[in-house]
Structures are given as C-alpha cells and as structure tokens.
Structure 1
Amino acid sequence: MNKEPLWTKNFISVSASNFFLFVTFYFLLVTMPIYALRELGGDAADAGLLTTFFLVSAIIIRPFAGQWIEKVGKKKILIASQIIFLAASTLYFFPHTLETMLTLRFFHGIGFGMATTATGAMVAEIIPDSRRGEGMGYYVMSTNLAMVIGPFLGLTVMKEWGSFVMFLICIVISALALTAGLMTNIVERKHTVRAISIFQLKFNPRDLFEFSVLPIAVTGGFFSIIYASLLSFVSVYAEELHLGAIASYFFVVYAVVLLLSRPFTGKWFDQKGAHVIVYPAIILFSAGMFVLSQTETALVFLVAAGMIGLGWGTLFPSFQTIAIQEAPPEKKAVATATFLSIYDLGIGVGSFIIGWAITGMSFSSLYMYCAFYILGGLFVYFLLYGRQDKKAREMEKAEHQIV
C-alpha cells in the first residue's frame, strides 16, 4: 500500500513560510532588549516589555483570526497577515522612544499571531490524515530550526554591523515569509462573505475558542511554562557555569537531535498512538532538565540539550497534532488559535514566574525543581487527556464487539 505524499509543494511552502516568520520572531526576541538598553535608554524591565507587548497582541488576535479564516479562507488571511508583518518590519527604523517602539511591537505581534494561526490551519489541511503525526513533527521542526538560526543570526548581525543592517535583514526575512505564503495554494470552499461582515466578530467564548482542544492545550501550556525558563535563562546559566563560549550550541544540539529523531517519532505517533510517544517524552524532558541542573562541564551541558530536544521537541508537535485531531474539520482554524494562544500564555506566564523565582535561588536549583514539575505533567496529561482518550477507545472497542 503506497503512502499518501507528505512532501508536497504546499507542505514545503507553508513550512517555509512558518520558518521565516519564526526566524524573524527569534531574530528580534534576542536583539530588541539589547536595542532598548543601548539606543532607547530603557532598563531591563522596559526591555522585557518589548517581548510582552508582542506576545500579548498575538494572543489577543488569534481567536479572531480563527473566525476570519472561517469567513474568508486560510490563504487570504495568511497573505493579509504577512503583509501586516512585513509592513511592521519596515517601520523599525523610525521609533526613537520606548513608547513608540512598544506600539510598533504590538502592531507586529498582530501580524505574527494571525499568520501563525493561518499557517497552522493550512498545514492541518495539507497533511494526509494517515501521516498527521509525522507531518506535524516536520512542520513544527521548522519552528525549532528558526529558534536556532534566528538568535544566532540576530546577535551576530547586531554585533558586527549594528541595528540598521539588523532591521534591513528583518525586512528581507519577512519578505521571504510572504513569498513562501504566496506560493501556497490549497483548495478551499467558496466564501461568499461581504467585506463588512469580516469585522462583525462573535465574542461568545464558544466562537472565540474551540473547547474540545482545551484539555490538551492546557497540558501544553503547563509544559510551556518550563520551556520559558530555557528560552530566557539557559544562556545566562551557561555564563554562570563559565560555559558561555558554548551557550549558543545548546539549541544547535537541540535542533540536531530533533532532526535525527523526527522520522521515527512522527511515524510512531501515527502507528502506535499518542500515549506511546507522550509518556516517554515527558520522562525524557524531565531527565534532561535534571541533568541540566547538575551540569558542570560542556559535555554534560550539551547532553542535557539533546535530551531536552528529544523530550520537549517531541511533546510540542504531539500536543498540536492531538489538538487538530480533536477538533471538527470546520473548527481546525479556531482549534489551532486556541492551542497556540494557551501555549504562548504559558510562555508569558513562565517568563514572569521564572524571572521572579530566580531572584531567590540558584539556576541549578531552579532547573532541578523544573525537572520535578515536569514529572508532575505525567498526571496532568493523564487527567486532562489520557483518561478521556482511554475511555473513548474502550467504548469504541465495545461497539466493535457488539457489531
């Protein structure tokens, strides 16, 4: 039996579009705080607000983006959002005060939130059902690769050529995201919606969120709180251990392990089901954080990166795949928005909690506590999703026996 094709032109172009969106995101994530401190006269708290404003607008817009996608189609919303994203990227030369830069970051986050919701909804339709776990794994890997390339490129460009060239490159990357989006063509149902009705949004919670995905979305948010500790502080921890020279390699190893494992983990998800993948991945993620907490040498630091990459790098696409599977076909866009909004909320909450917690303990203690927190995620996953899924499978088996 021949497999349905996965690496189609549409799958590659939408993954490429997602990749360039996230390269821009991570490119600016690591450089804007430095820019705020050096050129806008801000302090550390002000620098943090530049990321907060971006994420807040992305979280706010996603539920509405899901409605717009259902009204006018995925491709139109993707292109419109990427035009907003590119337009915002061209404006970074102009703000000279923190207030105007915060306004721009909020505007930029709107484009990002809409675009990532649209790409997530598009890829959910493009991937064959029989290869959903495998396909989502590769799609999410485009985000993980961006997480490596974006910060490395951003810090290098800012150090060598300064903020003017940094903003020019940001425009180029955003334009590449739009180009890749334009190359994506999917068959959609014909939408006969008047232009004014696009702005007639529904504010009922059932229209803004897809409740069927809340259990797995909350589970993902539970874990993303800890992932925030890696995004924000693993490089600072490396400096404390006198391993600053290899800090940038943490996410390189993370991505390499993902790249090597993805052909296997995605297929196992499709063939064996979510639980066979999720439970071991949680344990591996926890073990990786514990090893990180005990790090004293470069080798152990990078081994921890590989374990975390295999653990969390497997969990996130698995959770997103489950979210898409749980939602009815006509609600996949809203389901994607719901999942990503709660995931980003976890990142935002985690950044605040971890930043507060680190004032009273060492990084080593912090990451050790994180390891035990992640183990608690075994019960969170079971209670919120695993238990219900088990009941559903037992009912389905009983129905087959009756027939």
Structure 2
Amino acid sequence: MDGHANGYANGRAKSSPIFTSGFVRLFACNLSLVVIYFLLMTTMALHAATLYGVDPALAGLTASVFLVGGIAGRVVCVRLECRFSLRQIGLAFLALQTVAVALYFMEFVGISFLLAVRLLHGVAFGVANTVVPALAIDGLPAGRLGEGTGYFMLSNTLGIGIGPLMSVLIVVGIDYSVLFSICLVLSALSLVLLRTYREPAAAKGRSIASIRARKAPIVDSSTVKFSFFMFLIAFAYSSINAFVESYADELGLGLFAPFVFLVYAAVLLLIRPVTGKLMDRYGEDVILYPSIASMGAGLILVAFARDPLSLLACGVFMATGFGTCMSVGQAAAVKISTSSSTSLTVSTFFILCDTGCGIGPFVLGFLVSSCGYEVMYVACALIAFATTIYYRLIR
C-alpha cells in the first residue's frame, strides 16, 4: 500500500505543470532584472569615463562595486529571511532597485555619487536575484526540479542576449537617459510582477519554517564544497566576460565580439530544457562532467582563435560549459542541500559564482599585462580542466 501511494505521489509530482501563472510571473520578473544588469554592466564604465573624464581603472569600479553590492545583498537576504517572507523581502528590494535606477539620472553630482548608487543597486539586485529564483524553485514539482530550473534559467539566458544587444543603442548615438528610462520601466515592471505573485501553500510552509529559525547561517554549509566548483568555473569564465572584446580587437575581429554572447544565448535556449530533463532522469553528474570539460575546450579554442568562426564557436562551448553548469549546478545544489531554506542554498551558490566573476578580471588582468591574452586563456582552460578533478573528489 505504501509503495503504491509513493508511486502515485511521484507520478503526480512528475505530471504537475511547471508553467503556472506564478512561474511565468517570476520568469518575467527575473528576465527584467537580468536585462537591467547586463544593459548597465556593459555600458556604465564607458558612461563614467565619458561623463566624468576618469581613468579606465576608476571607471571600471562601476562594475566591481556593483558585484560587491550583489554579494552583500545575497548575505543580507539570508539574514532577513528569519523575519520576513521571501515575497516581502523581494518587494522591498525591488522597490529599492527602482529608486537606485532613478538616481542614475542625477549625472551632475559626480563619480563618487555614481559609485554609491552602483553599490546600492548591487545590493538590491543581489537580494532580488536570490529571492525570485528561490520562489520559482520552491513552486516546482519535486520530480521535475532539474527541468523546471532549466526552464527558469532561460530568463537569465534571454537577459544575457537582450541586455548587451540593447547596449548597442549607445554605439549608434542614443543618449544614456534613454537607457536609464528603459531600466526604470523594467524595474517598475518587475515590482508589479512580484506584487501580483502568490506563493503556493507548500512554499509558504517552507518560508514559515525559515522565519521561525532563531539563528540563520550566512551560507548553506551542506552545499559549500559542491558549489565551490562554480567559483572555479566562474573565475575561468570571467576571462570571456572581461576580455573577449579587447582580445578580439587585438586580433582585428572586434566587430564579431558582441555576437559571441548572442551565440551563447541562442545555444542555451536550445539545450537548457534538454539538459534539465536529462538531469532529472540520470542525475547531475552526467551533465556536469561534460559541461566542465566543454568549458576548458572552449577556452583553448579562444586562445588560438584567428578567424571569426573560431571566435563565434567560443559562444557554443561557453553555453554548453558555463551556461549549463549554472542551471544544472543550481538545481543539483538545491537537491543535495540539507537546509530547509531554498534561498540560503541559492544564495550560497551565487555568492561563490559572483565572487569568481568579480575576482577573475582583477587577477587575470595582471596575467594579460605580463604574458598576453593567449597565455591567460590557456591558464583559464587549465583551471576549468582542473575543476573536473575537484568535482570528482567532492562527489
């Protein structure tokens, strides 16, 4: 009787729908967040250098300080969950993000003010980008966690494609105030979407259990070792984010650099639903080992790229590598976690990922200065391949 009941429950879980109205709202909310992130991340340094005449290092702080704020925001989110529901936290910090975006219009104040606003925006983004995925994951059917997370992470994929593409508006002469207006509308939209979202009963129960906890840890200790592989992968991937455009310029292929990210997004749109289903059926290891290896192969390809096709192929390997590790790794972390708080697990995963992305460009910049881009990309490929060994040891 018990086996029959369990089989019936599992069957119901696997047949339960993923694309509920709540899931769609959260998907659109996260998409708005990510578009804002990439639209400003790819243009703000140029904006600071042009408007205030500061040197590249100071202009680059507009990106670094945002990432610092993002990491702080994820820690803050975990602490706040002891007192408030995820939805309440998300609404408060989406409102804060809207205020921060509005402050970008105050261009006359100076670079110090802009850096302070970027820090504030980073905190708001870090909290919101922890809460929204956690709410989405909490609402997924238990037997379709990998598949559902894969679908949800497509919101990140679309944001990665749309954000940098919209930044091309600056290249063709559109004023920054137009971009800030777009971001303000998207920020307000994300606030409305979460405001109209209603948590499922099961997710509310988990939130109440978290609220009742007297002391909340900063990280999910049960998944730190597992999630550290994402720090290593993100560190290696930061070489693409930070340097592929300048490297392409040096090779005379600067025109093709933005399309690397479009290829990346297009490939992920095709493979993420498939990798999610494969994870649910065969486990995360079947996906993550090839993905980590793909990451290393792609970086080797970039190191020796001398034509547009090789450069664009990098986008394919980064999608099957870094992009797949992001979605499958996050779902796997939630699956193996012993914590009752999904947001704590998600926060831990992204804290390590964000730290890798933030530290990478700074450290790798010294390697580029002393040894050149080719050596730097080969070194990052070796890090990626070494991550395969690390992952094998912890599993």
TM-score by length of 2: 0.90
- Report the counterpart of residue 43 of structure 1 in structure 2: 55
SS in 2 for 1:121: helix
1:263 aligns with 2:270: no
- Report the counterpart of residue 336 of structure 1 in structure 2: 346
Residue 362 of structure 1 aligns with an amino acid whose one-letter code is G
Residue 26 of structure 1 aligns with an amino acid whose one-letter code is F
- Report the counterpart of residue 10 of structure 1 in structure 2: 22
Distance in structure 1 (CA, Å) of the matches to 2:149 and 2:141: 10
1:313 aligns with 2:313: no
SS in 1 for 2:173: helix
Cα–Cα, structure 1 residues 275 and 84, in superposed 2: closer, same or farther, change >3 Å? same
- Report the counterpart of residue 218 of structure 1 in structure 2: 228
Residue 81 of structure 2 aligns with an amino acid whose one-letter code is I
- Report the counterpart of residue 4 of structure 2 in structure 1: none
1:208 aligns with 2:218: yes
1:245 aligns with 2:258: no
1:98 aligns with 2:108: no
Identical residues among aligned pairs (%): 30
Cα–Cα, structure 1 residues 237 and 223, in superposed 2: closer, same or farther, change >3 Å? same
Instruction: Give structure 1 stretches of 5+ with no counterpart.
Output: 387-403
Residue 116 of structure 1 aligns with an amino acid whose one-letter code is N
Displacement of 1:326 in angstroms is 2.4
Contact 1:31 1:158 in 2 (8 A): no
SS in 2 for 1:330: coil
1:280 aligns with 2:290: yes
Q: How does 1:46-85 map to 2 (within 5 A)?
A: 46-85=58-97
1:142 aligns with 2:145: no
Distance in structure 2 (CA, Å) of the matches to 1:201 and 1:113: 23
Distance in structure 1 (CA, Å) of the matches to 2:188 and 2:207: 27
TM-score by length of 1: 0.89
- Report the counterpart of residue 32 of structure 1 in structure 2: 44
Distance in structure 2 (CA, Å) of the matches to 1:304 and 1:117: 29
360, 376, 380: which one pairs with 1:366? 376
Superposed CA RMSD: 2.2
Residue 43 of structure 2 aligns with an amino acid whose one-letter code is T
1:185 aligns with 2:195: no
SS in 1 for 2:178: helix
What per-residue deviation string (whole Å, max 9, x for no partner) do you get for residues 113-142 of structure 1? 110111121112012121111111222221
Distance in structure 2 (CA, Å) of the matches to 1:312 and 1:3: 30
Distance in structure 1 (CA, Å) of the matches to 2:71 and 2:217: 15
222, 239, 242: which one pairs with 1:232? 242
Q: How does 1:108-147 map to 2 (within 5 A)?
A: 108-147=121-160
Instruction: Give the total of aligned pairs.
Output: 378
Cα–Cα, structure 1 residues 213 and 85, in superposed 2: closer, same or farther, change >3 Å? same
Residue 209 of structure 1 aligns with an amino acid whose one-letter code is V
Displacement of 1:191 in angstroms is 8.0
Please say which of residues 156-165 and 303-312 is displaced more in the overlay: 156-165
Distance in structure 2 (CA, Å) of the matches to 1:170 and 1:260: 27
Distance in structure 2 (CA, Å) of the matches to 1:9 and 1:241: 47
Instruction: Give structure 2 stretches of 5+ with no counterpart.
Output: 1-10
Contact 2:32 2:159 in 1 (8 A): yes
Please say which of residues 149-158 and 356-365 is displaced more in the overlay: 149-158
